[in-house]
Amino acid sequence: MIDKKIKKSNERCALQEILSIIGGKWSMSIIYALFPGTRRFSELERLIPNINTRMLVKELKNMEANGIVSRKVFATVPPTVEYTLTTKGEKLEPIINELHKWGLEYVN
Amino acid sequence: MIDKKIKKSNERCALQEILSIIGGKWSMSIIYALFPGTRRFSELERLIPNINTRMLVKELKNMEANGIVSRKVFATVPPTVEYTLTTKGEKLEPIINELHKWGLEYVN
């Protein structure tokens, strides 16, 4: 009984940990924009309406730190920066798609 | 092409709308605690560690407004308040379970 309660409690903490990774205002939109494949910073900026440069930089930095995206810099002038989902990030695809379907059915 | 861009843009807005409903710090934990069935307010308070009464009231109010939970008050002394997931809320069960599995595999 106590074990079960601790397990339950850990499960909810896991959910909060997950939300801290993908629950930011823009994270899911960025992940969604990366599903088709690698994108340049400028492409992401164009693809995600209403996000500003500072926010996009900040979210991508968080996502990189959380192992959701990988970042590659090319020594061009000006430098080209590309972002790709890691395996951890890719595994979110079916879940975010399901969430999206839920939204289409139930939100408005 | 333009249609496709608009569609994409709407899809991302849908994701942000969804997040505004279930992306709060506690919403998923509350939904999770309601999966097995109806709970009293006091049960939810006990089941969700670290949440305070004011936050739980606020989140449940939001979730009720968003049609995720329904609220039933019984005229006992003191009043008993029970919360149940609506169909819209129940449909999140497989998604939150998948998200949870993802977390167990990839988050620490």
Q: Convert the pLDDT of each residue in A40-83 to its tens digit.
A: 999 999 998 889 999 999 999 999 999 999 999 999 999 999 99
Gap between the Cα atoms of B45 and A104, Å rounded: 31
Chain B contact present for A99, CB below 8 A: yes
Nearest by CB to B15, from A13, A15, A29: name it: A29
> In this model, does residue B6 exceed pLDDT 50?
no
Least confident span in B28-32, B39-43, B66-70: B28-32
In chain A, domain spans: 25-106
Q: Residue B69: CB partners within 8 Å, gap ≥ 6?
A: B30, B34, B60, B63, B83, B84, B85, B86, B89
Which of A23 and B95 is assigned the larger pLDDT?
Answer: B95
CATH entry 1.10.10.10 includes domain B25-106: yes
Radius of gyration for the alpha carbons in chain B, expressed in angstroms and rounded: 16
Chain A contact present for B104, CB below 8 A: yes
Nearest by CB to A91, from B28, B106, B108: name it: B106
Rounded to the nearest 10 degrees, what angle do helices A2-22 and B27-34 cross at? 140
Nearest by CB to A91, from B17, B26, B102: name it: B102
Chain A contact present for B69, CB below 8 A: no
What residue spans of chain B are helical by DSSP H? 2-22, 27-34, 41-47, 53-65, 87-90, 93-106
As a whole-number percent, the residues of chain B with pLDDT over 90 amount to 57
In chain A, the residue whose alpha carbon lies closest to the alpha carbon of B86 is: A106
Residue A95 to chain B, least CA–CA distance (Å): 6
> What mean pLDDT do residues A34-45 have?
96
- The reply to whether residue A15 touches residue B92, judged by beta carbons under 8 angstroms, is no
> In this model, does residue A6 exceed pLDDT 50?
no
As a whole-number percent, the residues of chain A with pLDDT over 90 amount to 57
> What mean pLDDT do residues B23-39 have?
90
CB B31 within 8 A of CB B92: yes
Collapsing DSSP to helix, strand or coil, B43 comes out as helix
